[in-house]
Amino acid sequence: MRLTRLLKYINTAIGVLALVVVFGIYWIAWRPLPQTSGTIRARVAQKVTVSFDSLGEPHIKAANQDDLLFAQGYLTAQERMWQMDGLRRLAAGDLSEIVGAAALASDREARWLRLRRLAEDAYVTLPPEDRTALEAYARGVNAYLADHRGRLPLEFTLLGYQPRPWGAVDSILIGLHMYRDLTTSYPDEILKQKMLEGGDPAKVNFLFPARTGLELPPGALLPMGAELHPGSNAWAIAGSHTASGKPMVSSDMHLEFSIPGIWYLVHLEAPGLNAAGVSLPGTPGVIVGHNDRLAWGVTNLHFDVQDLYIEKFEDRTGRFEFRGKVLQARPEREVIRVRSARPVELINWMTVHGPIRAEGKLRLALRWTAAVPAMFQFPFVELDRARNWQEFTKAIRRFPGPGQNFVYADVDGNIGYHAAGKLPIRKGYSGDVPVDGASGDFEWQGFIPFEQLPASFNPPDGLIVTANQNPFPSDYPYPVNGNFASHYRSRQIRNMLSGRNGLRPEDALAVQKDVYSAFSHYLAQRLVRAYERQGKGRADLADAVALLRAWNGQMDKDRPEPLMVSLAYEHFRRAMAEAASPGKGAVYQLQMAPAVMENLLRAQPAGWFRDYDEALLQSFADAVEEGRRMQGNDVRKWIYGEYLNLVIAHPIGHRLPLLARYFDVGPIAMSGSSTSVKQTTRRLGPSERMNADLGDWERSLMNLPIGESGHVLSRHYKDQWDAYYNGTSFPMQFRKVDVKSVLEFVPE
C-alpha cells in the first residue's frame, strides 16, 4: 500500500514537472514566434500586404517606400532581433554588459576602433534619402519591440535583459561592422613586423607578397601583412552562353558561419522598386539579388584601406610628433559596462592618423577609410531601384566600402563589372615598395576616382568572373596595395564556364559546389615526385604515395587523400615560415600562403632548404605520422570529413545542457578547402548561393545555409540546411509566389 502511494506521488510529481517544462517552453520559446498571418495595426500610411512562401521569406508589397521599409524592419526583427542586437553590441563594444568579463577583449577592440562614434558622426552627414530609409526601417523595428514587450526571443529571457530601442545609428553600426569584418588587416601588418624581427627580410617579404617591408622611421607605415578575410565568388554570363539567351548572374559570398546566418531573404515591392534577394539584418533594402530589370552580385575587393603609422608618442602627456611639430593627441574616454562586475574605463588617444595602440615599444596609430569624416553612405535602396547600367553605377559610386567587386547583368542582354569603394592613394608607395621612407611622408593623397576603378562592360568572351583575385592591371596609374586572393578559385570557375553554351542556373550551382583544388592537386604531385626521388625505401609512406599518385584533386569529405595533402601543407607551411623567421612558423597563416608555397616550390630559390625534396619528404612523413595518430595506421581508411568537421554553434543555446543539439548545426563532415570554388573551412563557407536567370526570374535559384528564422522552434530555423549541404537549392520566387500565409499591416 505504501509502495503504491509512493509511486502515485512520484508519477504526480513527474506529471507536474512535465507540465512545468511544457509551459516554460511555451512561455519563453513559443510565444515569441513571429506572426505570419492576420492583421497588425501599425504606423503605416496605407495597407501593407506580406505573403510568406514555403521558406518563410516575406514578399512585402506597399504603396510607398516608407511603409515598405517599416514593414521590412518589423518583419526582420520578428525573426532576427536577437541577432540584430548582438551585432550592434559586438560592433559598439557592448557585449560585456550582457555576458560579463568574457567579452572584454572584444569590447576593448571595438572601442579602440570607435565604431559607435563613427556611426554617430556618419548619421549627421548622411544624404537625406539614406537617412529617411534608415529611419523608416528603425520605426518598424521599434514597433516590433513595442508590440512584443514580455515575449521577446528566448535569448533575451535567458540572459535577462531588454534590448534598447533601435535607431538609424544602429543600422549604420551594422554596416560598419561589415566594413570592419571585410577590411581589417592591421593585425596582419603587426604579424609581419614581428616576423621581420629576427627574420630574414628577403624571405619574410617573399612570404608576404602584397607589399615589400622595410625598416621604417617614425611617421612611416608598417608593412602590410597576412590576410585572413572571408572571400567570395561571383560571375556574370552573357546570353550567348545560356539556355535562355539572356544573361545569368551567380553569387556565393563566403563569410564566417553563424546561426542564424548573416543574411535574411526578402522581396520588396513598392512603386518604382521591385527587388528580391538577401538583406543584412539591421539594415533596409536588398544587398545582393535582382529586381525586375537587372541582377547583381558582389565579392570582397581586398584593397588595403588600413594603415598603421609608427608615432613618436608620449604615453604620459599624449604628445606626438607630426612633420617636425609637437602636437597634442585628443583623449576619448570610454566606459565599458560589465555584467556582475565594475565598469572598465579606458582612454583612446587620437592623433592625426587615428587611435593609438601599444605594441611592445612601438606606439601605432590606425588610419582607416571607415573613419574618414562624411564617408559613410547607404546606397542600396537606390541600387534596388536601378533600371540600367548607368543607374546601377550611379548608385555604387556612392558606396564607401568595404571595397567590393560588383558584377551585373540586365534583361537587355548586357553584363558588366565595376569595382567600388573609397580606395586611398598612397603617395609613399610606388607599386609595393616604400620609396620615400627617409622623409616619412606616407600621407594619403585622396582616393582613386570611381571612373578609374577597374571596370568591364560586355567583354568579348561573354564571361566576367571575380573570386577576390587582383583586378588591377600591371600598368594601373595608382599604387595598388591589397591582400588579394590567390588565383585558384577564379581560374577554376573560368575553366568550368569557358566555351560552354546552353547554361542553366543548375549548371552555375554545380560550379558553386565544385571542390577541386588545383593547389592541393599540385602539392600531391610534388610530394609524389619527392618520394620517387628520395623516399622509395620508406615503407611508411608507400601506401600514401600510391593513393596520391592516382588522386584527382577533389577535396571530397569521404576520401583520405585530401587529409594527407592538408596535413602536409600545414607542416611545410610551418617549415617554410621557420626558414624565413625562426621560432615563428606556427603564426604564419594567410590567404596567399598556398600560392606563395607553389611559387617557392616551382622556383626553388637558394637559401631556404638544403634540399627541397628532402624538406617536402620530411613534411610528408610528419603529416602521415600525425594522420595515423588521428585516424589509425591504415591510410586508406582515413576520412577527410573527420578532419574538416564543422560545428555551427548557437552563441547561447550551445551552452545549454542536453539542448545544444537542437540549437546547433553539426558536427558534420564537409568537403572543400580554402582553394576550391566551394571555399570551406571550419570557420567560413558560402553564406548564400544565388543563381539568377534573367530570361525567366522564376528559374532563378537561392539558398541560405541554415534558415530564415532565428527562433529555434520555428520550422524555418534549419529548413534550408539539407539543400545547402547536399548542393541543391530552391526556386527564387518572384512573380509567382507559392503563398503559405498572408499578413497585413493596417493603419492604426
**Cross-strand partners of 336:** 344
CA torsion through residues 141, 144, 146, 152, sign:
negative
Q: In whole angstroms, what is the distance from residue 290 CA to residue 387 CA?
A: 11
pLDDT at 201: 92
What does residue 461 show for φ and ψ, rounded to 5 degrees? -85, -5
Is the pLDDT at 222 greater than 50? The verdict is no
Cell numbers given for 615: 624538406
φ, ψ of residue 443 to 5 degrees: the values are -75, 145
Residue 593 near residue 577 (C-beta atoms within 8 A): no
pLDDT in tens, 268-284: 999 999 999 999 999 99
Cα 683 from Cα 679, distance rounded (Å): 10
**Is pLDDT above 50 for 229?**
no
Beta strands in 11-108 (DSSP E): 38-42, 48-52, 58-61
Closest to 218 measured CA to CA, from 354, 306, 307, 309: 309
Quickly tell me which residue has 537587372 as its cell.
294
Instruction: Select the more confidently predicted residue: 3 or 308.
Output: 308
Fold adopted by 31-514+677-748: Glutamine Phosphoribosylpyrophosphate, subunit 1, domain 1 (3.60.20)
Q: What are phi and psi of 396, to 5 degrees?
A: -75, -15
Q: What pLDDT does residue 17 have? A: 57
Instruction: List pLDDT tens digits, range 541-590.
Output: 999 999 999 999 999 999 999 999 999 999 999 999 999 999 998 889 87
Give dist(CA 202, CA 213) in Å, integer: 9
pLDDT band at residue 225 under the 50/70/90 scheme: very low
| Cα-only R_g, the chain | 27
pLDDT of residue 3: 67
Cβ neighbours for 193, distance < 8 A, ≥ 6 positions apart: 213, 222, 223, 225, 359
Query: Terminus-to-terminus CA distance in the chain, angstroms?
Result: 64
Contacts of 600 (CB under 8 A, 6+ apart): 206, 576, 608
> What does the pLDDT average to over 460-474?
93
Nearest to 317 by CA among 343, 345, 347, 359: 347
Question: CA nearest 597: which of 617, 627, 624, 577?
Answer: 577
| pLDDT grade for 223, boundaries at 50, 70 and 90 | very low
In terms of DSSP bridges, do strands 665-669 and 645-648 run parallel, antiparallel, or are they unpaired? antiparallel
Residue type, 602: R
- 419-430: string of b/e by CB count within 10 Å (b at 16+)? bbbbbbebbbbe
**What are the extents of the domains in the chain?**
31-514+677-748, 518-640
Give the per-residue pLDDT at 228.
Answer: 38
pLDDT mean across residues, the chain: 91
Q: Where are the alpha helices (DSSP H) in 316-435?
A: 380-385, 389-397
| pLDDT tops 90 at residue 434 | no
Look at residue 609 and tell me whether its pLDDT is greater than 60.
yes
DSSP string, 302-320: -B--EEEEE--B-TTT-EE
Q: For every residue of 168-229, which 3-state class applies, written as one string?
A: HHHHHHHHHHHHHHHHCCHHHHHHHHHHHCCCCHHHHHHHCCCCCCCCCCCCCECCCCCCCC
Q: Distance of alpha carbon 211 from its chain centroid, rounded?
A: 24
| CA–CA dist 89, 371 (Å, integer) | 19
Kindly state the cell numbers that stand for 299: 565579392
475 has pLDDT over 50: yes
**What is the per-residue pLDDT across 231-247, written as a single tens digit (0 to 9) for each?**
699 999 999 999 999 99
From the options 1.10.1400.10, 3.40.50.850, 3.50.50.60, 3.60.21.10, give the CATH code of 518-640.
1.10.1400.10
- Give Cβ neighbours of residue 660 (< 8 Å, ≥ 6 apart): 649, 650, 653, 654
Q: Where are the alpha helices (DSSP H) in 632-713?
A: 640-643, 660-663
Q: Which residue has the cell 568572351?
A: 461
Alpha helices in 554-605 (DSSP H): 561-580, 593-603
C-alpha cell at 118: 563613427
Confidence category of residue 442, pLDDT binned at 50, 70, 90: confident
The whole-angstrom separation of Cα 223 and Cα 304 is 11
